[in-house]
Amino acid sequence: MSHYDVIVIGAGAAGLMCAITAGNRGRNVLVLDHANKAGKKILMSGGGRCNFTNMYSEPENFISHNPHFCKSALARYTQWDFIALVDKHGIPYHEKKLGQLFCDNKASDILTMLLTECDDAGAKIQLNTSVEQIEKTEQGFALNAGNKPLTCESLVIATGALSIPTMGATGFGYDVARQFGHSILSTRAGLVPFVITNQLKPLCEALSGSSVDTTVSCNGQTFRENILFTHRGISGPAILQISSYWREGDEIEINLLPDFNAESWLAEEQSGRPNAELRTVLSDVFTKKMATLFCENWFESKPMKQYTPAELEKVAAQLSEWKITPSGTEGYRTAEVTIGGVDTNELSSKTMMSKKVEGLYFIGEVVDVTGWLGGFNFSWSWSSGHAAGESV
Ligand code: FAD
């Protein structure tokens, strides 16, 4: 029987950070993962360049039933701490936009850094290993992993959540939580494209591949970013962001003219170029294809002077308050994250330890804390992993 101070299940972002932090404290750490490679999601993140954190990370960028829960961990291991680690390893990076930091080269730079740090901290990683059984003992935990019995003092669940099942995502973390009497707050796909199957589908299909700068709102939240039309519906950063706030049946509102007051702009255009057709006016701010398709779908394109004030008001409302009820989302198949998870009321916000079972920890995406798009989800993985690593 092998004994460790700490066993971490899940060699993803949160699990590796926890192992590094605990190992650096002199703890004897084993990380187990059922996959054949550590950190697969890190490798596929940020389009292969890993948006590893956000310079402007604040607790407001996280969604949770308890919005205060993330504050302590985020404050004790900040984006600047992670950036210092990246700098220490000489990894080149850049700000893409809105504080989002990406590797200049490859996401594997971040994974290599974490694996090097694990190695330096003496944390052992064992892949291709499924954990079959976990039991609480007087001294800690007894596990059956890959048909071998293991014991540990502290057990950290860092198995992620349900997004991208083809990458090995499982509900394992939730099962362990339930086994030890924890509540799981209902889960749903987040940062995920919308599917449109209603009368809007032909417009989305026709515009597939086109993107436009917008503000998108739903349930009191607004994001300013591009939307992207797809064959299946709509996507793009603004849509991914708002999808985390959207529930089945909700309406979203898109402002296609976020920089203007649509009504006064159209009125100015009407007096400035009365003979220009609406389509021509719209193609000054949208692509020609978009202007044409919007006119075909929504308005009669005629010379501006022929529009009554009431008609122009309708055109303005359509463009600045376009209301869509998505038919659904693409689900966990393409979602970047899972909203919901292990109830934070039953965890210590300082250490991530269970309030029910001494020595049991939950970190990363399995917990009911979900970041916005833009590097915030890794921020949560680093911060929660570090918090647990300091305590185990
Ligand atoms: P994971 O990284 O999912 O790691 C969990 C680990 O546990 C995996 O290695 C898995 O194999 C293992 N595991 C699961 N079940 C078991 C089991 N039963 N037994 C043993 N091991 C198990 N976030 C950002 O901040 N920036 C980005 O650029 C970004 N890009 C993304 C792109 C994509 C396509 C996706 C899907 C997500 C992206 N995210 C991004 C989100 C980010 O990847 C996750 O929030 C983050 O990886 C969560 O870390 P984690 O350690 O909790 O879980």
What domain range is 296 assigned to? 194-329
pLDDT by residue (tens digit) across 17-29? Answer: 999 999 999 999 9
Q: How many domains does the chain have?
A: 2
Q: Which amino acid is at 45?
A: S
- Using the predicted structure, report yes or no on whether residue 115 has a pLDDT greater than 90: yes
Domain boundary among 312, 329, 346: 329
Domain boundary among 279, 301, 329: 329
pLDDT by residue (tens digit) across 291-315? Answer: 999 999 999 889 999 999 999 999 9
- Residue 105 CA: distances (Å) to CA of 92, 190, 326: 7, 27, 36
Cα torsion 243, 246, 251, 254 to 10°: value is -30
**At a CB cut-off of 8 Å and minimum separation 6, what does 90 contact?**
none
pLDDT at 300: 84
**At a CB cut-off of 8 Å and minimum separation 6, what does 178 contact?**
184
pLDDT by residue (tens digit) across 194-228? Answer: 999 988 999 999 999 999 999 999 999 999 999 99
Residues 320 and 183 placed together within one structural domain of the fold? no
Q: What is the CATH number of the domain that holds 184?
A: 3.50.50.60
Specify the DSSP element, H or E, that contains 289: helix 288-298
Q: Looking at residues 245-266, what average pLDDT do you find?
A: 96
Bridge pairing between strands 148-157 and 360-362: parallel
pLDDT at 169: 83
**At a CB cut-off of 8 Å and minimum separation 6, what does 334 contact?**
164, 192, 193
Residues 72 and 127 placed together within one structural domain of the fold? yes
- Using the predicted structure, report yes or no on whether residue 68 has a pLDDT greater than 90: yes
Nearest to 8 by CA among 147, 123, 149, 161: 123
pLDDT at 170: 84
| Confidence tier at 147 by pLDDT (50, 70, 90) | confident
pLDDT by residue (tens digit) across 128-140? Answer: 999 999 999 999 9
- Residue 205 CA: distances (Å) to CA of 89, 209, 238, 329: 45, 9, 19, 16
The separation between CA 218 and the C-alpha centre of its own chain, rounded to angstroms, equals 17
Pocket of ligand 1 (CB under 6 A): 9-15, 32-35, 40-41, 44-46, 50-51, 130-131, 158-160, 163-164, 168, 170, 172, 336-337, 364-365, 375-378, 381
Residues 111 and 232 placed together within one structural domain of the fold? no
pLDDT over 90, % of the chain: 96
- Residue 375 CA: distances (Å) to CA of 25, 52, 271, 337, 378: 27, 5, 46, 12, 6
The separation between CA 275 and the C-alpha centre of its own chain, rounded to angstroms, equals 47
**Paired residues of 3 in beta bridges:** 151
Q: What is the CATH number of the domain that holds 289?
A: 2.40.30.10
Residues 51 and 127 placed together within one structural domain of the fold? yes
**Paired residues of 337 in beta bridges:** 190
| Confidence tier at 164 by pLDDT (50, 70, 90) | confident
Residues 343 and 251 placed together within one structural domain of the fold? no
| Confidence tier at 167 by pLDDT (50, 70, 90) | confident
Residues 178 and 97 placed together within one structural domain of the fold? yes
Q: Could you tell me the distance, in angstroms and rounded to a whole number, from the CA of residue 366 to the centre of ligand 1?
A: 9
Residue 193 three-state SS: coil
Q: Which of 45, 115, 144 to mutate to test the pocket of ligand 1 (most atoms within 8 A of CB)?
A: 45
170 Cα nearest atom in ligand 1? 15
Please tell me the residue having the least CA distance from ligand 1 atom 2. 12
Cα torsion 86, 87, 92, 96 to 10°: value is 70
Whether the CB-CB separation of 383 and 76 falls below 8 Å is answered with yes
pLDDT at 301: 83
pLDDT at 166: 83
Nearest to 5 by CA among 269, 388, 354, 273: 388
| Confidence tier at 61 by pLDDT (50, 70, 90) | very high
Residues 155 and 65 placed together within one structural domain of the fold? yes
Residues 152 and 227 placed together within one structural domain of the fold? no
Residues 57 and 128 placed together within one structural domain of the fold? yes
Q: Looking at residues 47-68, what average pLDDT do you find?
A: 97
pLDDT by residue (tens digit) across 338-376? Answer: 999 999 999 999 999 999 999 999 999 999 999 999 999
